[in-house]
Amino acid sequence: MRHAGLQSTVESVSRSPDAARLGLCVTFRYRPQILDELATHGVRPAPHTPPELVHEYVNDLYRYELRRLRARHMRGEIPKPAYSAHVVALRKKYILVSVPLRLWTMPDEE
């Protein structure tokens, strides 16, 4: 699995003593478009995975790739005139970082 660390983090959050003590079982219904976009990054949240945790993880991936891109630019692998186009392409690849969390999930059915 590409992002094995996420699963253990998710499990520890979802099994927190506070949630168990309070008898809470929160389920998130992610929008299909969000799940499709997350899958392009190898991320498949479970229904109990908080969107905040997933967003933080995707944001960390984006920042990691941004640092790698900058390092390539500093080594001269990417010329200055082309650097901004690479940054824009990376932003498009990680468009979810700019999508508000309230839009990641479907509203609760009443």
pLDDT band for 58, please (50, 70, 90 cuts): very high
Let me know if residue 48 belongs to a domain: yes
pLDDT band for 22, please (50, 70, 90 cuts): low
User: Any residues with CB less than 8 A from the CB of 79 and at least 6 apart, and which?
Assistant: none
pLDDT digits (tens, 9 = 90+) for 60-84: 999 999 999 999 999 999 999 999 9
Let me know if residue 30 belongs to a domain: yes
> What single letter denotes the amino acid at residue 92?
K
Quote the pTM value: 0.74
Let me know if residue 27 belongs to a domain: yes
Let me know if residue 109 belongs to a domain: no
Let me know if residue 108 belongs to a domain: no
Question: In terms of residue numbers, what domain contains 43?
Answer: 4-97
23 φ, ψ (degrees, to nearest 5): 70, 30
Let me know if residue 18 belongs to a domain: yes
How many domains are contained in the chain? 1
Let me know if residue 75 belongs to a domain: yes
pLDDT value of residue 107: 87
User: Any residues with CB less than 8 A from the CB of 105 and at least 6 apart, and which?
Assistant: 28, 29, 30, 31, 34, 51
Let me know if residue 102 belongs to a domain: no
User: Any residues with CB less than 8 A from the CB of 28 and at least 6 apart, and which?
Assistant: 45, 47, 48, 49, 50, 51, 105
